Amino acid sequence: MSNLVRNKKELLKVEAFLNKNFSIIKVSKVYIFSDTLNKTKMYLLKKDPVEIIENKADWLKIKYYPEKNGAWTGKTIEGWIKKSDVE
């Protein structure tokens, strides 16, 4: 997914086909919140791709698809991050 999200032209096609939105983390380290008040120990790093599930005020509910050696691990992580943390 990382390679796809970095190719904006192809990403737009995939977003339209799947009816989903994706973005990239733009800051060095972003903690994931279980809700908009409770920070977890999980975090994302700059250039990590995320799927945007919900948009709520200054927050985004996201889904992250962890990769290992460029391949999806089969797991997902969901949580909230601040809108200002993505491109």
Q: What is the pLDDT of residue 39?
A: 95
Mean pLDDT by 10 residues, the chain (87 residues): 66 77 91 94 93 93 90 91 92
Give the chain's end-to-end CA distance (angstroms, integer): 16
Q: What residues does 29 pair with on adjacent strands? A: 45
Q: What is the pLDDT of residue 15?
A: 75
Tell me, letter by letter, the H, E, C secondary structure of 15-48: HHHHCCEEEEECCCEEEEECCCCCEEEEEEECCC
Domain boundaries, given as residue ranges, for the chain: 2-85
Task: Tell me the pTM.
Answer: 0.81
- Second CATH level (architecture) for the domain 2-85: Roll (2.30)
